[in-house]
Structure 1
Amino acid sequence: MALSKYDSTRETTNLARIARAILGPCVDVLRDILTKEITPPELKKELNKYPNKYRISQHQKQVVKNGDYSKFDISLLYMFLRNLGSIPEHKNKWGTNPDPYDKSVSANIERIRNFRNEWGHFTDLSLSDSDFEQHWKNIFQTVKDLEGYLGATTVYQDALNNLKTCCMDPDSIQPYIKKLLLVEQLVTDITDLKDEVQQIKKTIEPASLNGN
């Protein structure tokens, strides 16, 4: 009988390793960078002082107030690292793909955000060995460069080396893939909701003016 596309194979394991790398070392290195730039108490003061500078939801505000960077996801980390102003933006500017040869801190922060977005929209449930090796190389180099900025530590590089070859139970593969897809879907849903609210406002405002 032919293998179901939902069966655990080497290719689905490759994708799960990518998901674990993004949701693990990639997020954690951004958390360490944010810690280097500003402490949780200072970040709360920053948010209170400039409430309009950071466009975040009430839930995200509560996460910030709790002062635990381990609860920050990539979107929240990226938003603060981008807007605090302490990290110079890369040559192509924040929010755009960095030059492949740009090794600046902001370029690598941008790459991690792009990893999340790219794999969050990934429609296949598997990844060939050759594609895996290329993507893993990009992820590893990005984390390596950011750890270089943090200091002499290789904690996250070591974690990636372990993730690349560690044994993965078939039952653990799909949850990592689903989690990565779910994170991106939540971001997409929130963005779509904001767009819908803006459209409703545009519809209501002219009607209100006409009523007056």
Structure 2
Amino acid sequence: MDKLPNIDGFTVEICYKILRSENLLDEPKCKWGNLPNDTDIEIADDIQRLIKTTGLIIGLKSEEVTKHYFNKLLEEIKLIVTRVDSYLEKDTLRTMYNSLCRSETDCISILQDLTRVKPIEVSITSTESEKREMFSRLSIPIVETFPKILRDVIRQNIPAQLMYQRCVPVLKTFYPEQRKNIQDLQFSNTYGSLDVTLICQLLRQFSSITSPTKGWGKLPDKGDINLGDDVERIRCYRNNLSHRSDTKVDTKEFNEYFEEFRGIGYRMDQNLLQTTNYEQEIIGFRTCGMDTAMQKKYENAMKEIENIKLRFEKRPLKFYWGDDFDTWMTNLRSMLRDEKLEGRQKVRVQIIFQKAVDVENNMEVLNSLTEEINDGLSGIDFIVATKGSLVLIVDILLGMMETDEKLLTTLSLFLEKILARITNVTSETIDIVLLPVEESTQWNKQKTIGEQVYLEFDIEAQLLETDEKMVEQLTKISDAFLKHSNGSGTNQNITATLLPIDLGK
């Protein structure tokens, strides 16, 4: 700054800060710090677009740079250059762009230069109302777009009536409300009544699509972009946001989520056979008009997904859980009373620390002290901590689940030991969200009904003269099958259908 008015040594970051702090330009439509909509083409929009695009390029891996991505990026840069030249009433940038495109570039040298470029991190402080608005904007694609995408995916892979037929043999494994929605498939022949949770469960259980690269239940890495990866992303992002104990999102988190949402929309537009426009739909939600009523509508819609509520407090801990956890505990306690748990001794629970800091360091500490943490705690075993956010997976003895009091006393003692070992706990209160761990309900392949088996054999006509004779013969046939089934068919019901005989053959 001492060299002013000479600005030749100004970095991009300094120029950006001056333009923002001195209000030298009107604020972009998307507001500073966000990625503009494709239709936003004022000079401030392009400045913001350059900053965000630079950050994205720096973070790219080589395998992510496809020919399509490269061509799309070049076209976008060309448009930015043209608009900025028009604003400046010059032809400087266009000339530089054309010269660069014609030159024989030294790729290695450019890549070395790129490693020295750092993303521009400009502190953007959001008000509480802005944070709530950003949460509501993230809620719109989750409530409106993602269910439509998943219905398109499952419809493309299997008709609704056929899905109903596949579900019939295992219908009792679903919750009552899910059973009703599945039964509706046979009459409506559409997936309109199915929510995200049930669609993901059906896609997973019947292997209707390619499995995610890292498997089901884990957030895919950035480079994992097959159809199963994006279905799992939708499920994970929906759960992450609906399991929050508050409805506020800061600008950095908002931008990261929307970039992920936009990527899902883009790839789904490529994957689905019919014409869709999900990417542009999601982009529109980022800057669409939003009044107080609309903000409240989507905030409430997100709350209703899980209905997370404060259930118990023992300072500094606040325990939250939602309807899924309530339903799970009700079913579990019912089975405990009826002694229908078939020898199980433990159940698995997920504990999420909201707004955790220094996550990776705390993960390492906890994973190295699992035996010490478990020592002296009857009823609970610490399993693993998952990277990305501070999440603990624990196994709890069934006896500790009999009442809320037993569960919360056990968890409080356990978490007090955890808090004594992790760093940077500066909050007066710590919000804890409890979730049941999704256990795999993938049915044993030997027991799953997939392709039907047709048996044709000759039988003496007189053995079908009466129902009694026919039942006697079918019993003998069944016994013969079971005798040679190696036990694979003795632990479940087997349904067989007798078809009318074509006497013309």
* TM-score, normalization by structure 2: 0.37
Secondary structure of the equivalent of 1:93?
coil
State the partner residue of 1:4: none
Say if 1:16 and 1:205 are closer, same or farther in 2 by CA, change over 3 A: closer
Q: Which shifted more, 61-70 or 102-111?
A: 61-70
Q: Which shifted more, 95-104 or 34-43?
A: 95-104
Counterpart code for 1:32 = D
Mapped contact 1:94–1:110 kept (Cα < 8 A): yes
2:184 corresponds to 1:66: yes
State the partner residue of 2:225: 103
Say if 1:35 and 1:201 are closer, same or farther in 2 by CA, change over 3 A: same
Distance 1:157 1:126 in 2: 24
Q: Looking at secondary structure, tell me which structure has more helix per residue.
A: 1
Distance 1:19 1:204 in 2: 38
Q: Which shifted more, 148-157 or 88-97?
A: 148-157
Mapped contact 1:23–1:180 kept (Cα < 8 A): yes
Say if 1:56 and 1:147 are closer, same or farther in 2 by CA, change over 3 A: farther
Matches for 1:4-23 after TM superposition, within 5 Å: 9-23=129-143
Work out which of the residue numbers 229, 238, 251 in structure 2 matches 1:116. Answer: 238
Distance 1:92 1:205 in 2: 31
Secondary structure of the equivalent of 1:78?
helix
Say if 1:102 and 1:61 are closer, same or farther in 2 by CA, change over 3 A: same
Q: Which shifted more, 101-110 or 141-150?
A: 141-150
Secondary structure of the equivalent of 1:71?
coil
Counterpart code for 1:193 = T
Distance 1:118 1:102 in 2: 19
Say if 1:46 and 1:168 are closer, same or farther in 2 by CA, change over 3 A: same
Distance 1:115 1:192 in 2: 24
State the partner residue of 1:209: none
For residue 202 of structure 1, report the CA deviation from its aligned partner.
Answer: 4.1
Which is higher, the Rg of structure 1 or of structure 2?
2
Q: CA RMSD in A?
A: 2.5
% identity of equivalent residues: 20
Mapped contact 2:230–2:264 kept (Cα < 8 A): yes
State the partner residue of 2:159: 39
Work out which of the residue numbers 188, 200, 203 in structure 1 matches 2:337. Answer: 200
Matches for 1:92-171 after TM superposition, within 5 Å: 92-151=214-273, 153-171=275-293
Distance 2:341 2:138 in 1: 45
Distance 2:274 2:293 in 1: 36
State the partner residue of 1:51: 170
Distance 2:180 2:340 in 1: 31
For residue 150 of structure 1, report the CA deviation from its aligned partner.
Answer: 0.7
Instruction: State the Cα deviation string for residues 77-115 of structure 1 (Å, max 9, x = none).
Output: 100111121312123211223233211111111111111
Mapped contact 1:11–1:128 kept (Cα < 8 A): yes
Distance 2:170 2:340 in 1: 27
Q: Which shifted more, 128-137 or 107-116?
A: 128-137
Distance 1:201 1:10 in 2: 50
Instruction: State the Cα deviation string for residues 9-58 of structure 1 (Å, max 9, x = none).
Output: 3321111011111111111101100101111111111112x326x83122
Task: Give ranges in structure 2 of 5+ residues lacking alignment.
Answer: 1-126, 307-321, 344-505
Say if 1:203 and 1:31 are closer, same or farther in 2 by CA, change over 3 A: closer
Counterpart code for 2:165 = K
Counterpart code for 1:118 = N
Counterpart code for 1:15 = F
Distance 2:341 2:249 in 1: 47
Instruction: State the Cα deviation string for residues 142-164 of structure 1 (Å, max 9, x = none).
Output: 23222321147342222212211
Mapped contact 2:335–2:341 kept (Cα < 8 A): no
State the partner residue of 1:189: 326
How many residues get paired? 198
Distance 1:160 1:176 in 2: 15
Secondary structure of the equivalent of 2:192?
helix
* TM-score, normalization by structure 1: 0.82
State the partner residue of 1:24: 144
Mapped contact 1:119–1:181 kept (Cα < 8 A): no
Distance 2:341 2:323 in 1: 27
Counterpart code for 2:193 = K
Distance 2:178 2:242 in 1: 20
Secondary structure of the equivalent of 1:51?
helix
Q: Which shifted more, 114-123 or 141-150?
A: 141-150
Task: Give ranges in structure 1 of 5+ residues lacking alignment.
Answer: 1-6, 207-212
Secondary structure of the equivalent of 1:9?
helix
